[in-house]
Structure 1
Amino acid sequence: MANKKLSIISGAGISVASGLKTFRGEDGLWEGYDIMKVASIEGWYDDPALVLDFYNKRRSQLKSVEPNEAHKLCAKLEENFDVTVVTQNVDNLHERGGSTDIIHLHGELNKIRSSKNKKHTVHFEGIQKLGDLCPDGSQMRPDIVWFGEEVPLLDKAAEIVQVSEVIIIVGTSMQVYPAAGLISYAPEHAEIYYIDPDPQMNFELSRLKNLRVIQKTAVEGMEIVYQHLVK
């Protein structure tokens, strides 16, 4: 018999135990930077050098952190389920934790692309500079989906959620759209687990019949859900 389809919707909170800060801190900053200056298309147009410097630092930081137990448990679930991770994170900790099927809604730190053609991407782990040009003559930029840009993999993620029998929400407050709206595609019969130390119920979450809220950190919550699902 085929394994049940399980999708994991993850956000920055799952990487906190690895030493990465959440995308949007209480002060509205990300690693000390004004979010709109480094994570919006307007910010890129205003000061591309600042944006490149910011993502160079984030890329370098990735080399000093390791996946935590929550990432590893996401991967371990593949032994019992057909798992797809739909993540809002741009880090590679799910990959390094062992997950094999991952949709990065907001792009990836270790990729850069043409400013003109979003399909022209390359793997990159170094320091990006102004003047690094794509073969089409455009400045290479981080392959990140910024505020003001479409989320190209949103439809693919919605299709995955739509056929999932089990859904785990971990490390995301489900307050930032359009990603927060993905749960509205969940089948009526799906088992849904929402892990958050300070859970906030959005409109879609409040309508779910089979929702189990686990008020724990990502690591603690994933351990509980894993033990429950893999009896």
Structure 2
Amino acid sequence: MKKKLVVLTGAGISAESGIKTFRDSDGLWEGHDVMEVATPEGWFKNQELVLDFYNKRRQQLKEVKPNLGHTILAELEKDFDVHIITQNVDDLHERAGSTKVLHLHGELLKVRSVRDKNLILDWTEDLHTGDFDGNGHQLRPHIVWFGEEVPALEEAIDITETADYFAVIGTSLQVYPAAGLIAYTPSTSPVFYIDPKPISIPNIRNKVETIAKFASEGVADLRTRLNSF
């Protein structure tokens, strides 16, 4: 039976494909205050602005490709039972070939009903005011905004609790509840922490191997270390 590798990924792995994160620029995401485009309050204040913002992000996603970090994680499925838990809303893990991807913060290529959070549709083009679900309710981006619950969190915890290995790639470990997942890793399971500027991980029982590199180079290093076990 293959050992289970659980990987928590963040914006750092997608940044190498050209997707920006608001944490790169003092709270601005592609020039916008995140409170205007990534909160329920922003949606109610200016729906057109929010729709336009995510339409542009959706179009941008079509112009980028998975990088070596995404590709190596997909290739690791040959030797490990790989489960990716990502904070990213892009589909680069899937496009690289990963088959078990859980999105904590939603997906850019999906939309949902404002009335029924379980009514989720695939959506690859622009979304406009007047685009309704089958019951006449407006559709919104399928994104977990600040202040909203994270529906996939319990599933992510269940996955993490059975990890033989746990890797953290390209995330600052400052966004909760995602950052708290590491606490659910079995104490005997090694943790690999890949970040060019790693921070100290507080209150962790596990053995931590820090790989102070950018995502693609770090994932290649991770593969080598995993193969040594």
Shorter-chain TM-score above 0.5? yes
- Structure 2 Cα separation of the partners of residues 209 and 23 of structure 1: 30
Letter in 1 for 2:46: D
- 1:69 maps to what in 2? 68
Please state whether the residue corresponding to 1:147 is helix, strand or coil: coil
Q: Indicate whether 1:29 and 2:28 are aligned.
A: yes
Please state whether the residue corresponding to 1:212 is helix, strand or coil: strand
Answer yes or no: is the 8 Å Cα contact 1:103–1:157 preserved in 2: yes
| TM superposition shift of 1:131 | 1.1
Matches within 5 A, 1:117-156: 117-156=116-155
Letter in 2 for 1:85: I
Matches within 5 A, 1:46-195: 46-195=45-194
TM-score w.r.t. the length of structure 2 is: 0.97
Report which stretch shifted further, 9-18 or 19-28.
19-28
| TM superposition shift of 1:208 | 3.2
- Structure 1 Cα separation of the partners of residues 169 and 26 of structure 2: 22
Q: In the TM superposition, what whole-angstrom CA distance separates every residue of 1:174-202 from its partner, at most 9, and x where no partner exists?
A: 11111110001000011110000111224
What is the percent sequence identity of the aligned residues? Answer: 50
| TM superposition shift of 1:220 | 1.0
Q: Indicate whether 1:213 and 2:210 are aligned.
A: yes
RMSD: 1.0
Answer yes or no: is the 8 Å Cα contact 1:62–1:91 preserved in 2: yes
Answer yes or no: is the 8 Å Cα contact 1:175–1:202 preserved in 2: no
Answer yes or no: is the 8 Å Cα contact 1:85–1:102 preserved in 2: yes
- Structure 2 Cα separation of the partners of residues 192 and 186 of structure 1: 8
Letter in 2 for 1:115: V
Please state whether the residue corresponding to 1:157 is helix, strand or coil: helix
Cα pair distance change 1:86/1:67, threshold 3 Å: same
| TM superposition shift of 1:114 | 0.3
- Structure 2 Cα separation of the partners of residues 110 and 209 of structure 1: 36
Long gaps (5+) in structure 2: none
| TM superposition shift of 1:157 | 0.3
Q: Which aligned segments of 4 or more residues in structure 1 are displaced greater than 6 angstroms?
A: none
- 2:19 maps to what in 1? 20
